[in-house]
Amino acid sequence: MKKLYVVGIGAGNYEGMTVGAVRVLENADVIVGYTVYCDLVKPYFTGKEFISTPMMRETERCRLALEHAASGKVTAMICSGDAGIYGMASPILELADEYGVEIEIVAGVTAAASGAALLGSPLTCDFAVLSLSDLLTPMETIEKRIACAAQADMCMAIYNPSSKKRSDYLKNACGIIMKYRSPDTVCGIAKNIGREGESFEVMTLEKLAGTEVDMFTTVFIGNSSTKEINGKMVTPRGYKI
């Protein structure tokens, strides 16, 4: 049966890709993806046919990948981070039967993991991964999920925290969290993970509420035991030290 590989490329730098992801892309005839992601990996996989579409054309992108795989070409659909975490794995699986194509998902390093490594160890205990983008999820649902995670004293990794049209979303999210958490809760941000301009900062929840971030930032909210140690964000696992 013909196959389409759905590949998580991590942050897009070669060092951040899994060995499995690299092998699939090396063997692919065609690599399909969002324009920005294709541009990130082109230098590492020369001689490949690249097909890209801009933002807001995700379904078209999925169908293009499936069509090329169905034609017999070794095809890979790439996604940043992990394809199954806010990626293209689910729509590909929903559409695959129309094309008679087998799907293989190749895991990638999501920003919750790579950003956590940059900050220290903020997610050592139970945590929730949330997105503040309301393009596909109603804000009422997002706010409920934030409140539930805050009440449960879970650490959080927050994707898509702000954009030009959503400049106050992170501030509002922090306001919800501060109903259940101390404003001194240790938090952190990781920007441009694995890319030029990579940086991180540890701060309080109160400061985070007034911090300017963008779509290339991943936000980390600690739980009641999270602390700052030598400039790093650390959530103890509970071992006796």
| 82 and 159 inside one domain | no
Residues 24 and 126 occupy one common structural domain: no
**Per-residue pLDDT for 106 more than 80?**
yes
Residues 102 and 128 in one domain: no
Last residue of a domain, one of 77, 106, 135: 106
Query: Are 100 and 120 within one domain?
Result: no
51 and 84 in a single domain? The answer is yes
Residue 241 maps to a domain? no
Name the domain boundary from 61, 84, 106. 106
The pLDDT of residue 29 is: 97
Total-model pTM: 0.95
- pLDDT score recorded for residue 165: 77
Domain boundary (86, 106, 126) is at: 106
Same domain membership, residue 101 and residue 121: no
Number of compact structural domains in the chain: 2
**Angle at alpha carbon of residue 233, lines to 184 and 169, rounded to 5°:** 60
- Tell me: pLDDT of 56 over 90: no
- 240 pLDDT band, cuts 50/70/90, is confident
Specify which residues 79 forms β-bridges with: 8
Task: Establish if 135 belongs to a structural domain.
Answer: yes
Side by side, the strands of the sheet bearing 186-191 are 127-131, 155-159, 217-221, 186-191, 199-204
Structure tokens at 215: 């779509």
CATH number at residue 137: 3.30.950.10
The residue segments making up the domain with residue 215 are 111-234
For residues 130 and 219, state if they share a domain: yes
Residue type, 58: E
CA torsion angle 114 11 17 198 (round to 10): -60
* Banded model confidence at residue 76, pLDDT cuts 50, 70, 90: very high
* Residues 117 and 100 placed together within one structural domain of the fold: no
End-to-end CA, the chain: 54
CATH number of the domain where residue 77 is located: 3.40.1010.10
Instruction: Please give the mean pLDDT across all residues of the chain.
Output: 96
Residue-wise pLDDT for 34-49, tens only, equals 999 999 999 999 999 9
